[in-house]
Amino acid sequence: MKAGTYKVKAKGHGSSFMPMEVTLSDNAIQRIRVDASGETSGIADEVFKRLPAKIVKGQTLNVDTVAGATISSRGVVDGVAEAITLAGGDATEWKQRAKPEAATQAAQVEEYQTDVVVVGALWRRGHKPVEPMGYAFIHVLGDWVTEYGATILTETRAENLLMENSRVVGVVAHKTDGTKVTVRAKSVFLTAGGFGANTPMVQKYNTYWKHIDDDIATTNSPAITGDGISLGQEAGAELTGELFTGLQTPPENFIMVNQEGKRFVNEFAERDTLAAATIAQGGLFYLIADDKIKETAYNTTQESIDAQVEAGTLFKADTLSELAGKVGMDPATLEDTINKYNSYVDAGHDPEFGKSAFHLKCEVAPFYATPRKPAIHHTMGGLAIDEYGHVLDKAGQVIAGLYSAGENAGGLHAGNRLGGNSLADIFTFGRLAADTAAQENG
Distance of CA 191 to the CA centre of its chain: 16
74 is catalytic: no
State the catalytic residue, choosing from 97, 271, 417, 431.
271
Task: Decide: 18 and 38 in contact? Cβ < 8 Å.
Answer: yes
Residues in the chain: 442
* DSSP bridge partners of 384: none
SS (H, E, C) the chain: CCCEEEEEEECCCCCCCEEEEEEECCCCEEEEEECCCCCCCCHHHHHHHHHHHHHHHHCCCCCCCCCCCHHHHHHHHHHHHHHHHHCCCCHHHHHCCCCCCCCCCCCCEEEEEEEEEEEECCCCCCCCCCCHHHHHHHHHHHHHHHHCCCCCCCCEEEEEEEEECCEEEEEEEEECCCCEEEEEEEEEEEECCCCCCCHHHHHHHCCCCCCCCCCCEECCCCCCCCHHHHHHHHCCECEECCCCCCCCCCCCCCEEECCCCCECCCCCCCHHHHHHHHHHCCCCEEEEECHHHHCCCCCCCHHHHHHHHHHCCCEEECCHHHHHHHHCCCHHHHHHHHHHHHHHHHHCCCCCCCCCCCCCCCCCCCEEEEEECCEECCCCCEECECCCCEEEECCCCEEEEEEECHHHECCCCCCCCCCCHHHHHHHHHHHHHHHHHHHHHC
Task: Decide: 172 and 234 in contact? Cβ < 8 Å.
Answer: no
Task: Decide: 192 and 159 in contact? Cβ < 8 Å.
Answer: no
The residues annotated with a catalytic role in the active site are 271
